[in-house]
């Protein structure tokens, strides 16, 4: 029987429209092959939304996203909007959509593809076989805690304040996502905190530890964030799934991502308790190469694979997409960002055509 999904597309700015167009063509093909009826609808976000409506996240966009089964976002931002006040900046639209859809869990895989092992800045023997999933809490912690701001003290000196705070319920729901993610992978979960110094981290550690009883098939460990950062570059293969708070996750997921050496290859998923999830590449809008058919569309394509797996429960379609990406790399096709000697250089559109050809064969 045909499965029907309503997908909201948010092309955004810069290279966004280019990489999303390639991805949509691929999804359409997979849909016809696997009897999936994707109903795509497009909406504005970021700089392009500011230009048309004055707001980085128009109300209509949020409403359309809420009424869909999944949201596929490309990237937002660009020089043109860099000097606007914060509430009118493209990035504000990104924070607003995450909050508006209550997306509290961010999943970022860092997988070393054998074809791209030389792209890593670490030695091949250190990174070979690395396959990490960072589960980052996204809507709490120090980025949102109150009080925050820059205040004047009694002496007239300014004092900047942010507050790192987590409620038990916030920790429990992200821990649940992390335990379930670890179950789908190799069953190893490492929780990262700073419980030796921070009270908020002690509560984090206590809750995660008590939740472990419900998941006897998951092996739980804990690391302090400073040690975790060190271990990630020293011996990354020891990690499978990592769960951590907003600030630590922001930093560690970038460090884990760079193990792979290629920002144009990295997808992400942001999930809430209910649909829709938001699926987007880790990279930004790359204004320096926008409109030149130079962008690597693979992070966007792999984000669509995460949408299929984690957002729509279409694992077969996700695997098919991931295999096509591996096959394109195995056949030697490379965009500029991952190009190396002896490989076949292609642009964004041509990479899409290679994937379509592989999927059709």
77 lies in the site for ligand NAD, by CB under 6 A: yes
284 lies in the site for ligand NAD, by CB under 6 A: yes
Rounded to the nearest whole angstrom, what is the least distance from the CB of residue 293 to ligand NAD in the complex?
11
DSSP string of 333-351, one letter each residue: EE-GGG--TTSEE--HHHH
286 lies in the site for ligand NAD, by CB under 6 A: yes
Judged by CB under 6 A, the residue of 283, 309, 320, 334 near ligand NAD is: 283
Which CB atom, from 241 or from 268, has the smaller least distance to ligand NAD?
Answer: 268
Which of the residues 242 through 271 are near ligand NAD (CB under 6 A)? 263-264
Phi-psi category of residue 293: left, alpha or beta, with phi > 0 → left and psi -120 to 50 → alpha: left
Rounded to the nearest whole angstrom, what is the least distance from the CB of residue 89 to ligand NAD in the complex?
8
58 lies in the site for ligand NAD, by CB under 6 A: no
Residues designated catalytic: 143, 194, 226, 250, 254
Judged by CB under 6 A, the residue of 11, 78, 141, 249 near ligand NAD is: 78
Phi-psi category of residue 54: left, alpha or beta, with phi > 0 → left and psi -120 to 50 → alpha: left
Judged by CB under 6 A, the residue of 7, 10, 57, 76 near ligand NAD is: 76
287 lies in the site for ligand NAD, by CB under 6 A: yes
91 lies in the site for ligand NAD, by CB under 6 A: yes
List the end-to-end C-alpha distance of the chain, in Å, as a whole number: 24
Asked if 116 and 338 touch (Cβ cutoff 8 Å), the reply is yes
Asked if 231 and 182 touch (Cβ cutoff 8 Å), the reply is no
Judged by CB under 6 A, the residue of 23, 120, 285, 303 near ligand NAD is: 285
Rounded to the nearest whole angstrom, what is the least distance from the CB of residue 156 to ligand NAD in the complex?
34
Asked if 21 and 302 touch (Cβ cutoff 8 Å), the reply is no
Distance (Å, rounded) from C-alpha 95 to C-alpha 80? 19
Asked if 191 and 222 touch (Cβ cutoff 8 Å), the reply is yes
Helices (H), the chain: 16-34, 47-53, 59-66, 90-100, 124-127, 168-184, 199-211, 225-234, 246-260, 298-306, 315-330, 348-360
| Per-residue mark of binding to ligand NAD, 331-350 (x: CB under 6 A) | ------x-------------
Which CB atom, from 24 or from 286, has the smaller least distance to ligand NAD?
Answer: 286
Which residues are at the interface with ligand NAD (CB under 6 A)?
A: 15, 75-78, 91, 94, 263-264, 280, 283-289, 295-296, 299, 337
């Amino acid at each position: 029987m045909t499965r029907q999904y309503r997908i909201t597309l948010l092309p955004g700015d810069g290279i966004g429209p280019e990489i999303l167009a390639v991805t949509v063509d691929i999804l359409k093909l997979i849909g016809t092959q696997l009897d999936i009826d994707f109903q795509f609808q497009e909406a504005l976000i970021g700089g392009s939304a500011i230009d048309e409506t004055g707001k980085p996240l128009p109300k209509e966009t949020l409403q359309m996203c809420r009424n869909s089964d999944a949201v596929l976002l490309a990237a937002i931002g660009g020089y043109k909007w860099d000097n606007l006040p914060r509430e009118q900046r493209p990035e504000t639209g990104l924070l607003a959509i995450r909050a508006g859809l209550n997306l509290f869990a961010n999943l970022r895989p860092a997988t070393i593809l054998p074809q791209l092992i030389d792209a890593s800045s670490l030695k091949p023997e250190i990174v070979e076989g690395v396959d990490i999933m960072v589960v980052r809490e996204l809507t709490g912690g120090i980025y949102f805690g109150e009080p925050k701001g820059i205040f004047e003290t009694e002496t007239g000196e300014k004092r900047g304040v942010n507050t790192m705070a987590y409620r038990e319920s916030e920790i429990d729901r992200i821990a649940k996502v992390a335990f379930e993610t670890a179950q789908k992978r190799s069953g190893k979960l490492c929780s990262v905190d700073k419980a030796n110094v921070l009270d908020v981290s002690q509560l984090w550690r206590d809750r995660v530890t008590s939740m472990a009883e419900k998941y006897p098939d998951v092996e739980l460990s804990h690391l302090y964030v400073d040690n975790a950062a060190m271990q990630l570059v020293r011996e990354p293969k020891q990690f499978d799934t990592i769960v951590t708070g907003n600030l630590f996750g922001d930093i560690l997921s970038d460090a884990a991502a760079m193990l792979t050496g290629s920002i144009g290859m990295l997808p992400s998923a942001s999930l809430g308790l209910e649909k829709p999830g938001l699926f987007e590449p880790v990279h930004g809008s790359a204004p320096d190469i926008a409109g030149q058919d130079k962008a690597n569309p693979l992070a966007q394509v792999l984000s669509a694979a995460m949408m299929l797996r984690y957002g729509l429960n279409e694992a077969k379609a996700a695997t098919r997409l991931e295999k096509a990406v591996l096959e394109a790399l195995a056949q030697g096709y490379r965009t500029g960002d991952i190009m190396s000697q002896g490989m076949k250089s292609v642009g964004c559109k041509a990479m899409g055509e290679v994937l379509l050809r592989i999927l059709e064969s």
